[in-house]
Amino acid sequence: MDLSLPRADDLGPFRVLYLQNRAVGLEGMVVVDNVAIGPSIGGIRLAPDVTAEECARLARAMTLKNAAAGLPHGGGKAVIAADPGMPAREKERLLRCFASSIRDDLSYIPGPDMGTDETCMAWIRDEIGRVVGLPDDSGGIPLDEIGATGFGLTHSVLVAVEYCDFELAGARLVIQGFGAVGKHAARFLCQEGAVLVGASDSRGAISDPDGLDVEKLIRTKDGGGSVADHPTGEALDRDAVLDIECEIWVPAARPDVIREDNVHRLKTRLIAQGANIPCTEAAERTLAEAGVVVLPDFIANAGGVICAAVEYAGGTRTQALETIEEKLRENTGRVLSTSRDRGILPREAAEALATERVRAAMSRRRWGLF
């Protein structure tokens, strides 16, 4: 794993742990970015190509996301370099070993992310008791099953269209990454009248200007297929979703998929960032200059972590959904109105909102960061 970390600043990181156990094949990292507001919550990403830099940037995104959402938690993240498709018994051993390695570090509460799910969280709970994103039958609110992040993103979009020159009814929608976030975002947005005209996953893409059948696509994915197997529409290369004309484009896969070298390919009016850090800073500026509204990741995709925090506090599924709707609508409105009034990027407005809360908490702590 590439272990180079970005430069530290006054917000963090608070703690960086490198984890290795060759007997089990564990190589991973935990970055606890900031715990001034409370113990950090952040997912465990399991993928072959994860890096320390990705972990640190995602941990910072969690600090901002948790603060913006008003949760009593700081930000952290973990990565494990491994194949998410490994046999279940090996995965269980790996995650149990990971959990044992962080047993005594109470500054980090793990949750699910790409490559890990509710079953993985149940193994972690069995090892160390401290986890969010548990299965239903273990007292959890299964956030990916109920589509907490896609639900929140939809409410963020419902507010954002008031700042755009189109209506949600009939708006063309493209989703990059038809996984837990992407498929539920498609489902909820289409219930509000959007039309899904393109979708992709790691194996390919599909497009149909007349609209794809979202429920059928979800069934195809749940059955282990690819969106490219959909019976109607045109099968495309994975990255061709960048070129599909639409009103709403949702990145819901990997970091840095929109960059200076490809940002000119997007033909859209609104980008709602379902994935974490999907867009480079320069590309986000280019989009703003072209009049595209960009909803920052840590505002638009906070539904999952809000659900996790409600679960951790012993709340119910209904309370989680109500909290997500309320916080996402309020924050999106605040960020977009500040952005418009002060002529700054939505991300700058969102960062100001979140860092103000983190700094206020730091000013009240004896040692600043903790």
Least Å distance, CB 211 to ligand NAD, is 20
How far, in Å, CA of 33 to CA of 276, rounded? 16
Least Å distance, CB 173 to ligand NAD, is 15
Tokens in use for 255?
A: 């970091």
How far, in Å, CA of 241 to CA of 250, rounded? 10
Which one-letter amino acid corresponds to residue 174? V
* Residue with smaller CB distance to ligand NAD, 124 or 369: 124
* Residue with smaller CB distance to ligand NAD, 156 or 301: 301
> How does strand 40-47 pair with strand 74-81?
parallel
CB atoms within 10 A of CB 290: 12
* Residue with smaller CB distance to ligand NAD, 198 or 274: 274
* Residue with smaller CB distance to ligand NAD, 141 or 148: 148
Least Å distance, CB 348 to ligand NAD, is 21
Binding site for ligand NAD (CB under 6 A): 113-114, 143-144, 148-149, 176-182, 200-202, 238, 252-254, 274-276, 301, 304
How far, in Å, CA of 28 to CA of 151, rounded? 31
Least Å distance, CB 194 to ligand NAD, is 18
Least Å distance, CB 365 to ligand NAD, is 27
Specify the 3-state DSSP secondary structure of 136.
helix
Which one-letter amino acid corresponds to residue 194? A
Least Å distance, CB 181 to ligand NAD, is 4
As beta bridge partners, residue 339 has none
How far, in Å, CA of 212 to CA of 199, rounded? 9
Contacts for 262-267: CB closer than 8 Å, 24+ residues apart: 263/287, 266/242, 266/292, 267/243
* Residue with smaller CB distance to ligand NAD, 93 or 238: 238
* Residue with smaller CB distance to ligand NAD, 130 or 254: 254
* Residue with smaller CB distance to ligand NAD, 75 or 177: 177
Helix axis angle, 317-342 to 303-312, nearest 10°? 140
Question: Which residues have a Cβ under 8 Å from the Cβ of 262 and sit 6 or more positions away?
Answer: 242
Secondary structure element (H or E) that encloses residue 202, with its range: none
Question: Which residues have a Cβ under 8 Å from the Cβ of 325 and sit 6 or more positions away?
Answer: 151, 152, 155
CB atoms within 10 A of CB 168: 20
* Residue with smaller CB distance to ligand NAD, 186 or 369: 186
Identify the CA nearest to 293 among candidates 262, 272, 313: 272
Strand order in the sheet with 293-295: 234-236, 204-207, 195-201, 172-176, 248-251, 270-272, 293-295
Least Å distance, CB 167 to ligand NAD, is 26
Identify the CA nearest to 250 among candidates 298, 199, 303, 304: 199
Residues belonging to the active site: 77
Q: How would you classify residue 352: left for phi > 0, otherwise alpha for psi between -120 and 50, otherwise beta?
A: alpha
